[in-house]
Amino acid sequence: AQSVTQLDSHVSVSEGTPVLLRCNYSSSYSPSLFWYVQHPNKGLQLLLKYTSAATLVKGINGFEAEFKKSETSFHLTKPSAHMSDAAEYFCVVSLFSGGYNKLIFGAGTRLAVHP
């Protein structure tokens, strides 16, 4: 069965320091993976997606993620955090089953950025 585990429920960093949000997935075949961000009282916005092309995926706002099949991981990184990055981040795996596409969401990681 497909599943997603976000290893940290909360991450706190200082402005200007690197960000690492960890995600492991379980999938019986090559998955499609996404990271979404949700700012307070807002909808979810797509940050980036992996679709079996390049294993290093660049997204918006300086974020990137690396797909590592051997580790079944898809960690999200950013070299330098900005105050505006404070939000909740969701790692998502997509599967096609029973004739439809289904997104399976991780529990989310809340990122706090301190001055």
Partner 1 sequence: DSGVTQTPKHLITATGQRVTLRCSPRSGDLSVYWYQQSLDQGLQFLIQYYNGEERAKGNILERFSAQQFPDLHSELNLSSLELGDSALYFCASSVATGGPSSYNEQFFGPGTRLTVL
Of the candidate residues 43, 56, 70, 115, the single one contacting partner 1 (CB under 8 A) = 43
Show Cβ contacts of residue 83 under 8 Å, excluding neighbours closer than 6 positions.
15, 113, 115
> Of 19 and 92, which CB lies nearer to partner 1 in the complex structure?
92
CB 26: neighbour CB atoms within 10 A? 13
Asked whether position 96 contacts partner 1 by CB under 8 A, the answer is yes
CB 40 within 8 A of CB 31: no
CB 19 within 8 A of CB 9: no
Asked whether position 1 contacts partner 1 by CB under 8 A, the answer is no
Phi, psi of 67 (to 5 degrees): -85, 120
> Of 62 and 105, which CB lies nearer to partner 1 in the complex structure?
105
Query: Per CB under 8 A, which region of 12-20, 30-38, 59-67, 72-80 contacts partner 1?
Result: 30-38
CB 115: neighbour CB atoms within 10 A? 6
Q: State the minimum distance, in angstroms, from the CB of residue 100 to partner 1.
A: 4
Asked whether position 51 contacts partner 1 by CB under 8 A, the answer is yes
Contacts with partner 1, residue ranges (CB under 8 A)? 31-32, 34, 36, 42-46, 49, 51, 90, 94-96, 98-103, 105, 107-108
